[in-house]
Amino acid sequence: MRGPGRNASPAGGRSGLLVTHTLWPALDAPARGGRTVRPVTAHDPAAVFDPAGYARGVPHALFRELRETSPVCRVPEPAVGPWPAGPGYWAVFRHADVKHVLRTPDLFSSHLGATQLRDPDTPGDLDFVRAMMLNQDPPAHARQRRIVAAAFTPRAVRELEAVVEARAHALVGAVARQGATDFVELGADLPVWTLAHVMGVPEQDRRLLVDWSNRVIGYQDPEHAASHTADPAELTPMGRAALAERPASLVRADGTPLNPRSREALADMFAYAHALADRPRTGSVMARMREGGLSRAEFENMFFLFAVAGNETLRNGVPGALLTLLDHPGQYETLRRRPELTASAVEETLRYWPPVMNFRRTATRDTELGGRHVRRGEKVVVYHVSANRDERVFADPDRFDITRTPNDHLSFGFGPHFCLGAHLARTQTRAMLRAAVDRLPGLERAGEPVRLTSNFQNGLTHLPVRWRTDR
Side chain identity at 51, as an amino acid letter? P
- What is the CATH code of the structural domain delimited by 45-466? 1.10.630.10
Q: What is the mean pLDDT of residues 405-410?
A: 97
The residue-averaged pLDDT of 436-459 equals: 94
Which is nearest to 422 in space by CA: 390, 131, 430? 430
The proportion of the chain whose per-residue pLDDT surpasses 90, expressed as a percent, equals 54
Listed ranges 12-16, 262-266, 411-415; the one with the highest mean pLDDT:
411-415
Structure-model confidence comparison of residues 365 and 5, the more confident one: 365
**Distance of alpha carbon 65 from alpha carbon 7, whole angstroms:** 36
**CA atoms of 291 and 230, how far apart (whole Å):** 30
Per-residue pLDDT at 154: 73
* CA triple 272-277-279, angle to 5 deg: 100
Q: What digits encode the pLDDT tens for the residues 304-339?
A: 888 887 777 888 899 999 999 999 999 999 999 999
292 contact partners, CB below 8 Å, separation of at least 6: 147, 148
Q: Reply yes or no on whether the pLDDT at 24 is more than 80.
A: no
Pair 451, 57: CB distance under 8 Å: yes
For the entire predicted model, the pTM comes to: 0.84
Which of 12-16, 306-310, 368-372, 394-398 comes out lowest in average pLDDT?
12-16
pLDDT of residue 29: 32
Residue 44 pLDDT level (bands cut at 50, 70, 90): confident
Stretch 92-111: mean pLDDT: 98
Please state, in angstroms and rounded to a whole number, the distance separating the CA atoms of residues 234 and 283.
27
Strands 372-374 vs 367-369: parallel, antiparallel or unpaired: antiparallel
What is the predicted pLDDT for the residue at 210?
84
User: From residue 1, how far is each of 160, 174, 469 by CA, in Å?
Assistant: 23, 7, 18
CB-based burial, 433-463: b 16+ in 10 Å, e otherwise: bbbbbebbeebeeeeebbbbbbbbbbbbbbb
Please report the pLDDT score of residue 288 as a whole number. Answer: 67
Please state the rounded mean pLDDT for residues 389-410. 98
Give the residue from 26, 32, 132 showing the smallest Cα distance to 81: 26
pLDDT of residue 325: 98
Answer whether residue 4 shows pLDDT above 50: no
pLDDT digits (tens, 9 = 90+) for 131-178: 999 999 999 999 888 877 766 667 777 778 889 999 999 999 999 999
- Give me the mean pLDDT over the 57-81 stretch: 94
Kindly report, residue by residue over 257-313, the tens digit of the pLDDT: 777 777 888 889 899 988 888 876 545 666 667 677 788 888 888 888 888 877 778
Paired sense of beta strands 180-182 and 108-109, if any:
unpaired
Q: Where are the alpha helices (DSSP H) in 223-328?
A: 237-243, 267-278, 285-291, 296-304, 310-326
Q: According to the model, what pLDDT value does residue 10 have?
A: 30
Predicted confidence band at 17 (pLDDT cuts at 50, 70, 90)?
very low
Three-state DSSP at 453 gives: coil
pLDDT band at 390 (very low <50, low <70, confident <90, very high): very high
Q: Answer whether residue 2 shows pLDDT above 50.
A: no
Distance CA 389, CA 64 (A): 8
Stretch (H or E) spanning 347: helix 342-352
Closest CA to 18 of 229, 318, 164, 189: 229
